[in-house]
Amino acid sequence: MVLSKLFKRGSQEDAERIEKSLEKTRRGVFGHIAALFQQQELDDEFWEDLEALLIQADIGVQTTEELIDRLRARVQKEGVKRAADAYALLKEEMLRLLGEAPPSALETPRLLTVVLVVGVNGSGKTTSIAKLAYYLKQRGKKVLLAAADTFRAAAIDQLRLWGERIGVEVIAHQPGSDPGAVVYDAIRAAQESRKADVLIIDTAGRLHTKYNLMKELQKIRTICARQVHRAPHETYLVLDATTGQNALIQAKKFKEAVDITGVILTKLDGTAKGGIVFAIQKELGVPVRFIGTGEQVTDFAEFDPQAFVEALFRQDT
Amino acid sequence: MFEALSDRLQRVFDKISQRGVLTEADVDAALREVRLALLEADVNYKVVKSFIKRVRERAIGQEARKGLTPAQQVIKIVHEELIRTLGEPGRLDLSGPPPHVIMLVGLQGSGKTTTAGKLALRLRKEGQRPLLIAADTYRPAAVKQLEVLGRQIQIPVHSEGTEPPPPDIAVRGVQEARKKGYTVAIIDTAGRLHIDDQMMAELEAIRDRTQPKEILLVVDAMTGQDAVRVADEFNKRVGLTGLILTKVDGDARGGAAISVREVTGVPIKFLGVGEKLDALEPFHPDRLASRILGMGDILTLIEKAEQELDRKKAEEAERRLLEGTFTLEDFLEQLQEMKKLGPLSQLLEMIPGMNRLARQLPAEVTDKQLKRIEAIIFSMTPEERRNPRIINSSRKRRIARGSGTTVQEVNQLLRQFRQMQQLMKQLRKGRLPGNLFGGLF
Ligand SMILES: Nc1nc2c(ncn2[C@@H]2O[C@H](COP(=O)(O)OP(=O)(O)OP(=O)(O)O)[C@@H](O)[C@H]2O)c(=O)[nH]1
Ligand SMILES: Nc1nc2c(ncn2[C@@H]2O[C@H](COP(=O)(O)OP(=O)(O)OP(=O)(O)O)[C@@H](O)[C@H]2O)c(=O)[nH]1
Ligand SMILES: [Mg+2]
Ligand SMILES: [Mg+2]
């Protein structure tokens, strides 16, 4: 099984599940790409089909054009005749776009690591937090969760239920209370009574266009920074893979407001491709850190660009 | 990045319009930009292709209409075709004997549960007696979420926890509605992937056993290219009767609406424009078309603004706005100019240079709110409009009386006007805050 090796971690079972959900993705658009490269000559139709397929993967017009231009140039320069060789080059170019991610702050030893999780409504923040907490717990960390979404109906209950399921404590106040106060208390609890290694903060979904709500996030950041040296150490933007071009604007705005350090790409078990992450990495330098591939707590894996591109292109349709 | 679209189109067709006759090459040049605009708006690749083909066929060889340059005509056709593709807004079908069953379906996190609450609130305002049914037993605290929403708007919720199978809950919910005389039963279902065969079969079971009048697909306005597949699959499996586009309060262009309409052919019934339960709006094809094209209402701009709006005056106003010397008098003048142009939702967009600001407008702007603002400014003396600082409390009382508003409202307008001037200064420094016109309307 290629993927169990490619996705650096996780049990065999995890790897199989991820493999299964990515299977659909490969069969979809990227599967087509593979097929395309097998049969065709490098004629106009080929380039057009390639464009169609990349755009339909939500990679975006601009990034698609750049990819194709670069591929054309290389095909020309390196005298590539066969589609299969062009395909190898395309993979290289796509990988290059994803780049090398800097080391994750989760790896750095420190007394308390604070992870802030943000994103638009319904992208999968709360679920991803449960998954991440479980993932860290499996690696021997003591994790604490802060229920700083005090706005959405039953958001606190949702996080509490996840906490119970995975055996991780949740610090929460009443619905409608000040999210900043929850964060303040949670950090104190993490430092003092609970002695946690990692605190993960769940925040309410918010559209990046809402000025006041973005301000509120900045306030939460400030509270973190005041209590813990250099906190939050990671700020993850949770992005639904189904999202189209607006994801790039989202990433930009969240980066401006709270300096996101990574993306968690969710719902990759569907047929959407999440191709916008190429543009996000390219334009903002924000790497994808984790992927979500289902609604269970184990449907989660570290994002490995190599594995991602390889898996998407594997010609097993 | 997308903001440049309207300018880009403008440029293309400025170039063309200088030449007079519309050739095939001209049409194609304009359509290249349109194609880009649509793709960047997330309209599906294949849908864009057939759309462009339709427009091209209509555009080439068409007789020039009076008063429009040929290029303007292309844009007009694009706009019309877009409106046509979006279709007429649909109404809920509540015919036949009650209780009318409405079922909400869609991908995870699209906004079903929230929309269930919104629909219930709206239908009650229309004189119905709604019951909400909590048939999502999967997502943690989904039942509680619907219960909390129900409590917020005092609408009862039929819930049975998470043990029984969702189709059973749905059936018993509808039975309860019938027994207790509720006229509408709204079923909230769990989010699911269109390719999840088992979960799709569950929807079929709910449908077969509750016979819904309406099966509404709830689609996130931010959805990308995959929208076609999702909508197609849901439609094939359960047979949709309508669409609700959510999260339209953001800045996603919402091209998915076109895709979904094209593949399902069912009407768009409502737009979700916020997290609060009253944030549900009727759908206006013309507005959504303009939004998808990302160019304000460019056609209205062409047709009306050129003739009616004094461009220079508007530009002068914008300059002063940015310099912070924009007065309430300028503001009133703008409002009046804009009113000549028709629908208020588009008012700011139609002032050259102001469309950047208009994007910050909340979706809920209504005629009524604007009229109040206008009335307040009308009741001020010219001196007060130019120099609002002189408005003391006795002046405020006079203004409130004169405009049929309250002193609080006058205060609010003045405060927000000051904030707007502040924000303009920030804008000049290159920081555009999220919601410029925040509380103004
Ligand atoms: N199929 C699939 N569903 C997911 C995944 N991640 C989350 N979900 C589902 O998406 C829906 C929304 O997830 P939440 O975690 O509540 O999202 P959120 O961002 O916290 O939402 P808000 O707090 O309301 O903004 C739920 O139904 C989740 O079960 C994933 O990787 N795959
Ligand atoms: N800004 C905005 N947020 C919305 C709108 N509609 C729903 N939401 C938010 O989107 C998130 C998800 O909404 P839900 O109603 O829980 O979505 P759902 O489809 O029921 O989710 P699942 O049951 O997990 O599949 C919540 O944070 C809602 O508050 C809208 O029109 N605008
Ligand atoms: Mg949440
Ligand atoms: Mg729900």
Beta-carbon separation of B40 and A61 below 8 A: yes
Q: Are residues A53 and A196 in the same domain?
A: no
The pocket around ligand 2, CB under 6 angstroms, is made up of: A 121-122, 152, 205, 207; B 106, 108-114, 136, 139, 142, 190-191, 218, 246-247, 249, 272-275, 279
A279-283, B136-140, B352-356, B414-418 — which is least confidently predicted? B352-356
Same fold, B100-283 and B309-440: no
Q: Are residues A284 and A156 in the same domain?
A: yes
Q: What pLDDT score does B322 carry?
A: 61
Mean pLDDT score across all residues of chain A: 88
Q: Which parts of chain A sit beneath pLDDT 50?
A: 1-11, 314-317
Point out the residue among B39, B113, B250 whose CB comes nearest to the CB of A207. B250
In a domain, A212, yes or no: yes
Beta-carbon separation of B250 and A57 below 8 A: no
Q: How far is CA B383 from CA B267, B324, B329, B335, B402, in A?
A: 51, 17, 9, 18, 16
Sheet architecture: strand order including A234-240: A169-171, A143-148, A198-203, A113-118, A234-240, A262-266, A288-292, A300-302
Q: Are residues A53 and A186 in the same domain?
A: no
Q: Tell me the Ramachandran region of residue B182: left when phi exceeds 0, alpha when psi lies from -120 to 50, beta otherwise.
A: beta
Which of the listed residues A117, A121, A149 should we mutate to test ligand 2's pocket, taking the one with most ligand atoms within 8 A of CB? A121
Residues of B in contact with A155 (CB under 8 A): 141, 145
Q: Are residues A85 and A118 in the same domain?
A: no
Q: Are residues A123 and A35 in the same domain?
A: no
User: Tell me, what CATH number does A177's domain have?
Assistant: 3.40.50.300
Q: What pLDDT score does B308 carry?
A: 45
Domain count for chain A, please give it. Answer: 2
Distance of alpha carbon B217 from alpha carbon B232, whole angstroms = 11
Sheet architecture: strand order including B280-282: B157-158, B130-135, B184-189, B100-105, B214-220, B242-246, B268-272, B280-282
Domain boundaries, chain B: 2-86, 100-283, 309-440
Q: What pLDDT score does B373 carry?
A: 82
Beta-carbon separation of B247 and A120 below 8 A: yes
In a domain, A316, yes or no: no
CB-CB contact of B147 with B159 (8 Å):
yes
> Which of 1.10.260.30, 1.10.510.10, 1.10.10.10, 3.40.50.970 would CATH assign to domain B309-440?
1.10.260.30
Q: How far is CA A277 from CA A234, A246, A285, A290, in A?
A: 18, 11, 10, 12
The CATH classification number of B100-283 equals 3.40.50.300
pLDDT above 90 coverage of chain B, percent: 50
User: Tell me, what CATH number does A28's domain have?
Assistant: 1.20.120.140
Q: Are residues A38 and A119 in the same domain?
A: no
Minimal CA separation from B427 to chain A, in Å? 14
Which of the listed residues B105, B108, B194 should we mutate to test ligand 1's pocket, taking the one with most ligand atoms within 8 A of CB? B108
Mutation to test the B interface, candidates A242, A248, A271, A284, most B Cβ within 10 Å: A242
CA-based R_g, chain A, Å: 21
Which residue range forms the structural domain that includes residue A133?
113-305
Beta-carbon separation of A243 and B107 below 8 A: no
Q: Are residues A201 and A255 in the same domain?
A: yes
Point out the residue among B36, B149, B225 whose CB comes nearest to the CB of A58. B225
Task: Band the pLDDT of B7: cuts 50, 70, 90.
Answer: low
Task: Give this prediction's pTM.
Answer: 0.80
In a domain, A315, yes or no: no
Mean pLDDT score across all residues of chain B: 81
SS (H, E, C) chain A: CHHHHHCCCCCHHHHHHHHHHHHHHHHHHHHHHHHHHHHCCCCHHHHHHHHHHHHHCCCCHHHHHHHHHHHHHHHHHCCCCCHHHHHHHHHHHHHHHHCCCCCCCCCCCCCCEEEEEECCCCCCHHHHHHHHHHHHHHCCCCEEEEEECCCCCCHHHHHHHHHHHHCCEEECCCCCCCHHHHHHHHHHHHHCCCCCCEEEEEECCCCCCCHHHHHHHHHHHHHHHHHCCCCCCEEEEEEECCECCHHHHHHHHHHHHHCCCEEEEECCCCCCCCCHHHHHHHHHCCCEEEEECCCCCCCEEECCHHHHHHHHHCCCC
Q: Are residues A42 and A120 in the same domain?
A: no
Query: Looking at per-residue confidence, does A170 or B291 come out higher?
Result: A170
Task: Band the pLDDT of B382: cuts 50, 70, 90.
Answer: confident
CATH 1.20.120.140 fits B2-86, yes or no: yes
pLDDT at B351 over 60: no
Q: Are residues A46 and A188 in the same domain?
A: no
Compute, in angstroms, the gap from residue A125 CA to the centroid of ligand 1.
6
A269 → chain B, closest CA residue: B193
Beta-carbon separation of A120 and B222 below 8 A: yes
Q: Are residues A177 and A37 in the same domain?
A: no
Compute, in angstroms, the gap from residue A275 CA to the centroid of ligand 1.
19
Q: Are residues A125 and A76 in the same domain?
A: no
Token code pair at residue B321: 């706005």
Q: What pLDDT score does B438 carry?
A: 33
Mutation to test the B interface, candidates A127, A157, A245, most B Cβ within 10 Å: A245
Q: How far is CA B350 from CA B91, B252, B308, B346, in A?
A: 29, 20, 11, 6
Beta-carbon separation of A151 and B275 below 8 A: yes
In a domain, A103, yes or no: no
Point out the residue among B145, B220, B226 whose CB comes nearest to the CB of A154. B145
